[in-house]
Amino acid sequence: MKRKNLILIILVVFSYSFVLAQVESSTLTFKRGKLWQSVSYTKVGPSYSDWRRIGIGLDWPGFDPSLINESIGGAPSHLVSGGFYVGCKGTNDSVVSVEDWSVGGSSISTDASQKYIITKHTYLYPNGSNHWLQSNPNVGEEVIETIWEYNMNYNLSDQYQVRRMMPIRVTRLAHQWSGSKLDENYIIYEYIFKNIADEIHKKIQDNPTLYPPRYVADTLIDFYALVNYGMHSNNRSWTVLFPNESPGARNLQFDYDNKCIFCNANNSIITGLSRREDFGLAPSMGPLVTNPTTGLQEPSGEYLAPAFVGIKLLYASRNKNSQESYIKQYGWVAGSNSADWGGPMANVGDIDSKYEVLKDITKVPKFIASKRDTVYMGKNRIWTWMSLGPWDLLPGDSIKIVLVEAVDGIDYGIAIQPNVLPYSDLSVIRKISKDNFEATLKRAELTYKNNFNHPDPPGAPEFTIDYFRESQFVANVLEWGTETEQIQDPDDLTNDLVGYVIYRSEYLPIGPWTPIDTVLKGDLDYLEGATYIFVDSTVDVGKSYYYALTAYDAGKASWVGSFQTITNVPPMESSIFANRLEIPFVATLPPRDNLSEVLVVPNPFILGEGRSMPGQGDVIQFVNIPNPCTIRIYTVRGDLVKTIEVGSDDGGIVSWDQVTDYGQFIESGIYLFHVDSKLGEKLGKFAIIR
């Protein structure tokens, strides 16, 4: 082998290895704050599959549904897929390409099999290195950078496809401020589209053996970027209220205002006016509460879709008509309710036909021009479109497009009070949700205009939780350190942390969150050395609790940004969701040093009279047990159904979900339990009524 060819092969292998090192996974996620999102190679949202939820897609409030044992309708996703259709001409009468970078993204890969190659898809600040903006205050706390571009190694034997390649590099930065209570409900995407025809020609000229000649369009003429989003607010509501309908919420009310298209869950035309499901109103959902009339425990009811979701244009480079941040057209496209695998462009036809749609979106089949449409709105799955451009990009030229995704609405504590005035008034719910959504959009605009900066809250330290060990006294003990008190505010370099707020939820990891106490910085009633210790004695033995810890400051007289100055900045607080328990903690007692008081509660267990927390309706508990020990459960015939190994530090209460060692729920009947420990043995019995 000639030395020159060997060097070229080595260079190709090295280059490919470098690309792989820069691509962490096909899908990266934001899942620290309240708004969770998937960021894929060229699109946002999870892999698209006919409107089914198969991963995180603007989940608000975000949580892992696998951590909840009992179904509550699934995760509250608000997006099935999103991104751009892009296309351009190489000459005034020849279309180069139209690419789908919003639904499938099939023209993108990490290898030579596709027209465009991913060269980077990674977290810029891994392992939380920019949490509380400790590394860079002019980007998000979490940033995902993605780069894809013309693939020099694409199959040159298919010259027709090679001619359909745009000489383009796309750089996308996705920013989220997940630690701030004010800023966790939006994500800003900064796209740079660059014509790299000059770079391609130089590579061909410098390495003719490695890169043989091929057609490359120089100027990208009439380049269009069509924003395409499949929003649905939200799948959780649709799953509960319409379980027999195909996925993809269709009870949506869309609107457009100030370069933003948004929607919320409305009453469905499918079910008629006799049934109300505005904001996903579900009478059978929510925590168990006592009916004051009957004295029985009943579901509180719940707004399953209490938020607005939207996409807004923050900036677009001047187009060829010198119009900055200009939206050429907007509207919606009705998708099929039975099979919508390819998105709104699936039935358009060839590339030339698709390009005609980019030029004039009204030419797409089932186009919807008005939010008041009565043919498709409220009946079909709906794709949201905003058309940007056109631009002429000469070699080396680039354009920027900045979008913000936002989801916001009523607090979850309000969502589970649909029968309580004023929250039973749907106009009140709409106003609160809309006001919060608009405030989030304004905050996102402030952030972008000020070079990705805004006033920031102080950082909240991680915390641990344990049971009170000093006596037979029921309490949960939270501990945290002083480390975030040394983190300076990135704007004025002051240590402005004033105190901490402890929150608790007795229902779900999304709330409702109730503040149970405030601890001031340096308070010696709680501070021991460099550790704060808070004892929550307002808990019930055997009951489960979620906790969160936030930090807050005192506000500022003024804040100076790169674009504007804000006076009288109010106090800011960190995010509850960025520093919370995802698995509930069971209030327990210290282990006993004898076996005389071991018992089972409730006894008898009666199905339907259990806990109000999802997944705990089938839990029974062994109380006053020693550590360590082994608990064995038998039928009255002596058949072993379950063995529970209790560790040396598990506490005096152990819960059992009534699932046998074989993965089956036990039946109604009388059961025996045997506790075996170094202190001796204990026998007892309990009853289960299903």
- 379-415 pLDDT, tens digit per residue, is 999 999 999 999 999 999 999 999 999 999 999 999 9
DSSP codes of every residue in 239-280:
HHH-TTSPSS---EEEEEETTEEEEEE---TTT-TTS--GGG
pLDDT digits (tens, 9 = 90+) for 186-215: 999 999 999 999 999 999 999 998 898 899
pLDDT digit string (tens) for 317-351?
Answer: 999 999 999 999 999 999 999 999 999 999 999 99
Q: Could you tell me where the DSSP H helices lie in 273-314?
A: none
Model pTM?
0.91
Write the CB contacts of 114 (distance below 8 Å, at least 6 apart in sequence). 106, 107, 108, 151, 154
Topology (CATH level 3) of domain 599-689 = Immunoglobulin-like (2.60.40)
What is the distance between the alpha carbons of residues 147 and 167, in angstroms, rounded to a whole number? 14
CA 384 from centroid of its chain's CA atoms = 20
**Which residue's structure tokens are 């004695």?**
537
pLDDT at 12: 45
- Among residues 142, 138, 14, the alpha carbon closest in space to that of 575 is found at 142
Both tokens assigned to 20: 């792989």
Residue corresponding to tokens 């691509």: 23
Q: Is 305 helix (H, G, I), strand (E, B) or coil?
A: coil
* Cα 51 from Cα 37, distance rounded (Å): 16
* DSSP annotation string for 141-155: SEEEEEEEEE-TTS-
In tens, the pLDDT along 220-229 reads 999 999 999 9
Domain 463-586: which CATH number of 2.30.110.10, 3.90.1150.10, 2.60.40.10, 1.10.645.10: 2.60.40.10
**202 CB contacts (<8 Å, ≥6 apart)?**
none
Q: Is the peptide bond before 628 cis (omega within 30 degrees of 0)?
A: yes
Give the pLDDT band (50/70/90) at residue 262.
very high
Phi (first) and psi of residue 278, to 5 degrees: -55, 135
Rounded to a whole number of angstroms, the distance between the first and last alpha carbons of the chain is 78
| Range of lowest pLDDT (160-164, 351-355, 425-429, 547-551) | 160-164
Residue spans per domain, the chain: 23-449, 463-586, 599-689
Length of the chain: 690
Which of 280, 509, 256, 244 lies closest to 382 in space, CA to CA?
256
Q: What is the pLDDT of residues 486-508, one digit of tens each?
A: 999 999 999 999 999 999 999 99
Helix (H/G/I), strand (E/B), else coil: 238:
helix
* Position 5 pLDDT exceeds 70: no
599-689 and 463-586 share a CATH fold: yes
Two tokens at 578?
């960025």
What DSSP element (H or E) covers 525? none
At residue 11, the pLDDT reads 41
Distance CA 577, CA 30 (A): 12
Q: How much of the chain, in percent, has pLDDT values that exceed 90?
A: 76
SS3 178: coil
Question: Nearest-CA neighbor of 166 among 141, 192, 197, 144?
Answer: 197
| All residues at 6 or more sequence positions from 412 whose CB lies less than 8 Å from its CB, including other chains | 61, 306, 508, 510, 511, 512, 513
